[in-house]
Structures are given as C-alpha cells and as structure tokens.
Amino acid sequence: MNIRHNPLGTVFPSGQGTWKQYQPDGQSSLLPIGAPNVDTRLRGGIARHGLHEFFGPTKVDSHAAVAFALLLAWRLPESDAGIFWITSDKERQASGRLYPHGLSAMGGDPSKILLVQVADLRDALRAAADGIRSKAAAAVILEAQGNARLIDLTSTRRLALAAAEAGVLALLVRGDAVPMPSAASTRWQVKSAPSVPLPGNAPGFATFDISLLRHRGGTAPFAAKVTWDHATRSFYDAPLSGGLSAIVTGGEADPASRQRA
C-alpha cells in the first residue's frame, strides 16, 4: 500500500482520508494515571507521546483542569527535561500566577517548570509547537480560556504530530470552553470534588471528578473520582457515590458501545 504525506506531515494510506498519527517507535508508550480503576478502563494509561485535552466547563472548574494536567505531567519519570507551561496574557489574567511553595506542597519541583508567557493565543500555539520540538521538554502544557477558534482540528493536529515525533506529552487545557473537534488522543472534563478531611479536620488531598469524553483508541466514555497523593506523586481511586466508576451519559460515543462499570 502506497503512503503519501501532506504538508503537515500527516500520514495517509493512499486513496483514503483517514488520519493516522505517526509514531516513530511503532507503538506509543503509556503513562498510567495511578488509580487502578481508571488505568484498567484505559487499558494501562494514556499515550505518553501525544496530545490530550482537559476541559474545565466553567471558569471555576478551569483551575481544576489546570491542576489536573500539571499533576499528570508530574507522573512522568524523572529526567533532565522540564515542563513547559505556555500561556498568554489573557490566560494569566484569568487564572493567576503559579505559586512555587504551593507546587512544592503538591509534590512537584518548581525549578522544573519553565513558564512561557506570550501576547496572544496565536503566539502561544507557536510557542507550544516549538517547545515540543525543542527536545528540552518532557511535557508541554498549553493553557487557553474560552472557545478559541484558533484551537481547531488543524492546529491540534500539528501539536499531536509534533508530540508523537518528539516523544513529548502535550496537554491542552481549555477553561470555560465547549469541546470542539480536535486531534487529541483523549479528551477529558475535569471538575474539583470534595476531599476527605485529614485528622483534626485539616483539608484533605486534592480530589477531582474526571470524565473521559473521547478516546481515539475506542475506550468508552466513563466518569471517575481520583485523589492526588503528593507523597507518591500518584492519583488513587476515590469512590463515587455508588462506589464504582460510572458511564458518562450524553457523551460522544455510541450508547450501544458503552460498557458497564
């Protein structure tokens, strides 16, 4: 079967229009979430060398989506490569600044984060692509607010291809936005959730309600609750009200293809 390449580097079987992400090693490695129930549903984790989307459906949830993406990047194995955080002036005004002491308290190393602030989203997309190709980043996080038209199938395809070729985890965080077609390997909705208080009624560990909305590998949408353990830098399962991971209703998958928890 002949193979042809388009200008973006996308690989198509000749005569077909189906996009297929290029993977230099033939099989993308997986990054486990750490929570057994979630990783079982994902058949091991998410693609470590690819693009993933995280939506905070409201402005309040935007902070949860940003936090979840950063914590997920901290799940990567230790290396000399850092985490590039790409944001524009608009996003900085909406979400504030990173707080080094808070990052340390969550189990991360602030010195490993390179913050890149640019004028607008167009420059942020360019900076994210450059960061992915730089070979200096283990993960690149691109933060955007609202339903930005520049983040479309074409722009996300460029990021996805660059991440696959460079072996980088690319995380696109969308605050106060509605999911639109993209080339991301997975798409998630993230909200903050109540945590279990620690002894003395101290604040509990960060807990999230996460919903898998779309998976290019065919995994059916589902919802789960996970808690972050800063000591082990891992998520663990926090039971929903029913005690099990739940099926997402009203998602993008065919209802007939959904599986019970």
Structurally, the chain folds into a number of domains equal to 1
Residue 205 in any domain: the answer is yes
> In sequence order, which residues have a C-beta less than 8 Å from that of residue 190 and are 6 or more positions away?
54, 55, 56, 61, 64, 65, 68, 208, 209, 210, 211
Distance CA 178, CA 62 (A): 12
Q: Which of 83, 96, 103, 76 is nearest to 206 (CA)?
A: 103
CATH of the domain at 106: 3.40.50.300
Residue 16 in any domain: the answer is no
Q: Is 59 helix (H, G, I), strand (E, B) or coil?
A: helix
Residue 115 in any domain: the answer is yes
Distance CA 73, CA 48 (A): 10
Residue 139 in any domain: the answer is yes
Residue 259 in any domain: the answer is no
Predicted pLDDT at 91? 62
Predicted pLDDT at 105? 80
Predicted pLDDT at 25? 41
Residue 10 in any domain: the answer is no
DSSP assigned state of 151: S
AA identity, residue 110? P
Predicted pLDDT at 53? 98
Residue 208 in any domain: the answer is yes
Predicted pLDDT at 14? 30
Q: Which of 172, 103, 169, 109 is nearest to 139 (CA)?
A: 169
Residue 50 in any domain: the answer is yes
> In sequence order, which residues have a C-beta less than 8 Å from that of residue 152 and are 6 or more positions away?
180, 181, 182
Is the Cβ–Cβ distance between 208 and 193 less than 8 Å?
yes
Q: How many residues does the chain have?
A: 261
Q: Is 118 helix (H, G, I), strand (E, B) or coil?
A: strand
pLDDT tens, residue order, the chain (261 aa): 333 333 223 232 333 333 333 333 434 499 999 999 999 999 999 999 999 999 998 888 888 999 999 999 999 998 889 999 999 877 665 666 777 777 888 888 888 999 999 999 999 999 999 999 998 999 999 999 888 889 999 999 999 999 999 999 999 999 888 888 999 999 999 999 998 877 777 677 899 999 999 999 999 999 999 999 999 999 999 976 544 444 443 344 433 333 333
What the block records as the tokens of 151 is 């983040």
Predicted pLDDT at 240? 61
Predicted pLDDT at 98? 73
Distance CA 131, CA 249 (A): 36
Instruction: Count, in order, helices (H) and strands (E) of the chain.
Output: 6, 14
For 146, the domain range is: 29-252
Angle at 113 between CA 151 and CA 136, to 5 degrees: 80
